[in-house]
Amino acid sequence: MLKFVKGVALAALVTSASAQAQVMLGAYVPGDGFQRSEIMRYNSAMQKPLAFVNIFSSFSHDWDHLYWQSSNIVREGAMPMISWMPVDLNRPDENILSEIALGLHDGYLDEWAQKLDAWVAQYPVEEQPTILLRFGHEFNGNWYSYGNSPFFYQSAWQYIHDRFEAAGVNKHIEWVWSANNVNVDDYNDLTVYYPGSEYVDWTSIDGYNFGSNYSWTTWESFTDLYADSYLTLVNYFPEKPILIAEIGTAEERDLPSWFWGQFGDDSDAGESKEAWVADFLTQLETHFPAVRAVAWFNTNKELGWSLTGNGNSGYNAFATAIQSDYFTSEFLSAPVCDAIAAPTETDLALAAAQAKYEAVQQQVESTAADLFHAQQRLADAETGHQQVVVQRADTLSAMKIHRQEYYDIRDKYEVAVNGFSNHRGQYLGHRDKATNERGRKLSADQEVRTAVAARAEQRQVYLDARQSFHVAREAYRTAHALYVSAREKRDTAAEGSEFDAALVLFDEAKAVRTLKVEQLQVTRTEMLNSLYSYRQSVSDVTSLLEKRGSIVTDYRQTVEALNTTRQQYRSSLQYRNAKRFEFVETRMVYLQQYEAFREANIAYVESRQTVEQISAEVEAATVALQQLEQERSQAYNELTNATFLVSMQTQSQGLMLADGSNGKQPKVSDKETNKTDESSKGNSGYANAGKKSEDFFIDKKLARKVKISKDAQRELALSRKPDPVDPEKALKRQNKYKNMTAEEKEALKLQKINVLLY
């Protein structure tokens, strides 16, 4: 198989058979068809109506959704392209292709077909719409549950197509077989998924320029993205028109977003979306004649794809270019699109030779220029390196001087810090001691105050007791005087009644005197007890005052020591701060010198590496130029031979590329006939094909899934396709996907499927 250089000699490999070929315009717009205003807004902005509108659906949606979406699209004069994903949103990670092929979704399919037929029937016969049915798009990727399963994909496609044929609705449908522009699966060959020419009306490609926003992507032109897959489709399926179903480019100002699993960089900031769009439409018309329909993805999802959104660019280039008659708002049915004739082997050889020679010639010129510039850059780099060496030596010398000064000041600062720490420790120790002594003093003051209060209380008790004693003594004296007077009266009283009366008074006075004596003794005892307690409290106060005096003396001595250490602490603090300021200034100067040396050293290392790198480039360019000179000579010889063969073929046989006008089909060779027969055999029976695998088992009543190993799937799928393509054809571009992290894979899966969640 030929390995083509991207974007080189595409027009020489395939050619449009009609100068009147056109590309019909389509788009995906926000609202997924539910919002008719979005279609109107897009048409108004572009000043050229859409021929078809892309909408998304799954096996969890029926025609109740699609009815309104499709009707809105038809009201705006366009046709719906239904991207129908074999996904059950209740179990989105399960592959249901085998279930479809086993008939486990027949009820859903039959109802879908019936409602489609009823929807079409509501329009007048001459105005009945046609839908583009894009089943299971991007099947050669790893982000959908149905991806990476070629045999099951073929089988499910054929099963649905045949069932719709039996239901009579295929007359309303054009089937779109839509691949991703890069194979991200286990097969590296998108043709193994092809269900057969009798089952397909359009071939299709999806591809986006993600810029540098993912770790595995860079800014790529339209040709970079589409050349490989386009040549594959034209090579293998030349009778099928190509539809670009999803295309978009990032904005150069888009920044990677962790929400979408984007861990790239902003290295594409110097690119231009406007220029990308202009180049895309130019390349489409010039070098991609087999493309007969294109649908821009006009919404901002994981990146700024939109052309008409606020803040988006690219609109001017797109709206201007599509005003050309090459782009049409008329719906182009696949059967009436011009066929693209496959080139002959001699044409392919000539185109390859031309491409090879032009590429080698371009490489020779580029390498020679690179060598010349590299030699100039090497001379400049060596001169610059000598200057950097001198600058590095100067900054190193200055840094050493300031480093020694910095070390000396740092030592003095450390001494000041140690002295400050010692004085601060002494100060804090005396402060703690003074605090303790003050606490003792306050405690002693409280004890003295308590003892003084107790003494005053005891004194008052004593005074009260003494007063009571004095009162009792006066009462005793009064009673004693009465007793003496009564005794005298008794002793002087005459016999008889006078004596008796005096005796009574004497007895009474004696009893009173005896009572007062007892009271006097009690109060005297109380007075003496209170006097003793009072004298004891006086002794306690005296003792506490002596103790307090000692504590106060200790406290005053501690305060004096605290004041002394505080002064020392303040002095050492001032000294430390002065040394610290000096240290900081010296350190700043040293760090500035160190930074200057570090920058000079980095410049030195970079300069040395630059010299070494440019030296290596000069050597490599010299070797490459010698090799390319040999390759150019060989390519020139091959081109001369190929040109001679084409000239001889044209003169002897008159063979040219097929005219390919409407109604003409490319001649089918015996080889292609054999392929068709083999393909028909591969499609003839699900069970017969399954016999090639030991793991294959079919039971429509019991089996929910069919398990077939990947090797067996490949064998079965290959039985239904033309000759396999060169397995190395897209390997280089596919390798970049191997660097995707788990987070990026999951984010890619989410961003692909979330369009179904409208």
Q: pLDDT by residue (tens digit) across 467-482?
A: 988 988 888 888 888 8
Structure tokens at 310: 């606020």
**What's the alpha-carbon Rg for the chain, to the nearest Å?**
54
The CATH classification number of 368-630 equals 1.10.287.620
Q: Does residue 623 carry a pLDDT above 60?
A: yes
- Give the Cα separation of 362 and 356 in Å (integer): 10
Sequence ranges of the chain with CATH classification 3.20.20.80:
20-342+660-675+724-757
Q: Does residue 15 carry a pLDDT above 80?
A: no
pTM: 0.54
More confident residue, 57 or 406: 57
CA atoms within 13 A on the CB side of 15: 15
- Give the Cα separation of 184 and 164 in Å (integer): 30
Structure tokens at 606: 């970079």
Q: For all residues of the chain together, what is the average pLDDT?
A: 80
Q: For 417-445, what is the mean pLDDT? A: 85
pLDDT-derived band at 752, boundaries 50, 70, 90: low
Q: Does residue 17 carry a pLDDT above 80?
A: no
Lowest average pLDDT, out of 254-258, 578-582, 708-712, 753-757, goes to 753-757
More confident residue, 23 or 658: 23
Q: Does residue 698 carry a pLDDT above 60?
A: no
Output b/e per residue, 555-570; b: 16+ Cβ within 10 A: beebeebbeebeebbe
- Give the Cα separation of 731 and 729 in Å (integer): 6
CB-based contacts of 46, cutoff 8 Å, min separation 6: 25, 308, 318, 319, 322
User: What kind and span of H or E run contains 83?
Assistant: strand 79-85
More confident residue, 105 or 527: 105
- Give the Cα separation of 485 and 498 in Å (integer): 15
- At 561, the amino acid letter reads A
Q: Does residue 116 carry a pLDDT above 60?
A: yes
pLDDT over 70 percentage in the chain = 80
Beta strand ranges found along 186-251 (DSSP E): 202-209, 242-249
Give 517-532 pLDDT, tens digit per residue: 888 888 889 888 988 8
Quote the pLDDT of residue 175.
97
Q: Does residue 55 carry a pLDDT above 80?
A: yes
Q: Does residue 561 carry a pLDDT above 80?
A: yes
Lowest average pLDDT, out of 124-138, 580-594, 709-723, goes to 709-723
Question: Which long-range CB contacts under 8 A does 469-478 form with residues at least 24 apart?
Answer: 469/520, 469/523, 469/524, 469/526, 469/527, 471/523, 472/516, 472/519, 472/520, 472/522, 472/523, 472/524, 473/520, 473/523, 475/516, 475/519, 475/520, 476/513, 476/516, 476/517, 476/519, 476/520, 478/516
- Give the Cα separation of 614 and 382 in Å (integer): 10
Q: Does residue 12 carry a pLDDT above 80?
A: no
DSSP-derived letter for residue 5 is P
pLDDT-derived band at 665, boundaries 50, 70, 90: very low
pLDDT over 90 percentage in the chain = 30
Would you tell me the crossing angle of helices 710-718 and 150-167 to the nearest 10 degrees? Answer: 50
Fold exhibited by the domain 20-342+660-675+724-757:
TIM Barrel (3.20.20)
Q: Does residue 400 carry a pLDDT above 90?
A: no
With contact defined as beta carbons under 8 Å apart, do 216 and 740 qualify?
yes
- Give the Cα separation of 531 and 537 in Å (integer): 10
- At 753, the amino acid letter reads I
Quote the pLDDT of residue 23.
94
How far is the CA of 463 from the CAs of 210, 467, 500, 527, in angstroms?
109, 6, 44, 8
Quote the pLDDT of residue 727.
45
Residue with the two structure tokens 């007063």? 467
- Give the Cα separation of 154 and 138 in Å (integer): 14
Burial of 137 (0-12, 13-18, 19+ CB in 10 A): buried
Quote the pLDDT of residue 257.
81
The β-bridge relationship of strands 202-209 and 242-249 is parallel
Q: Does residue 87 carry a pLDDT above 70?
A: yes
| Of 211, 193, 241, 204, nearest in space to 226 by CA | 204
Structure tokens at 531: 């006097």
| Of 674, 636, 673, 708, nearest in space to 101 by CA | 708
Give the helix, strand, coil percentages of the chain, each rounded to 5.
65, 10, 30
Looking at the DSSP bridge assignments, the partners of residue 203 are 177, 242
Q: Does residue 667 carry a pLDDT above 60?
A: no
Looking at the DSSP bridge assignments, the partners of residue 247 are 207, 296
Give 343-368 pLDDT, tens digit per residue: 556 666 766 777 777 778 778 878 88
More confident residue, 671 or 752: 752
pLDDT-derived band at 110, boundaries 50, 70, 90: very high
Output b/e per residue, 456-477; b: 16+ Cβ within 10 A: eebbebbeebbebbeebeebbe
Q: In three state form, how does the secondary structure of 392-442 look?
A: HHHHHHHHHHHHHHHHHHHHHHHHHHHHHHHHHHHHHHHHHHHHHHHHHHH
CA 232 to chain centroid, in Å, comes to: 35
Angle ∠(543,549,555) on CA atoms, nearest 5? 140
pLDDT-derived band at 702, boundaries 50, 70, 90: very low
Residue with the two structure tokens 């191997």? 738
| Of 21, 132, 42, nearest in space to 83 by CA | 132
Residue with the two structure tokens 């693209």? 340
Sequence ranges of the chain with CATH classification 1.10.287.620:
368-630
Collapsing DSSP states into helix, strand and coil, what is residue 120?
A: helix
Quote the pLDDT of residue 748.
61
With contact defined as beta carbons under 8 Å apart, do 313 and 321 qualify?
no
Q: For 696-703, what is the mean pLDDT? A: 32
With contact defined as beta carbons under 8 Å apart, do 299 and 308 qualify?
no
| Of 274, 179, 267, 186, nearest in space to 229 by CA | 179
Give 707-741 pLDDT, tens digit per residue: 556 666 666 665 654 443 444 444 554 555 556 67
With contact defined as beta carbons under 8 Å apart, do 47 and 310 qualify?
no
- At 465, the amino acid letter reads A
Q: How far apart are the first and last CA of the chain?
A: 44
- Give the Cα separation of 535 and 529 in Å (integer): 10
Quote the pLDDT of residue 19.
39
Collapsing DSSP states into helix, strand and coil, what is residue 612?
A: helix
In this structure, what are the phi and psi dihedrals at residue 256, rounded to the nearest 5 degrees? Answer: -60, 140
Quote the pLDDT of residue 343.
52
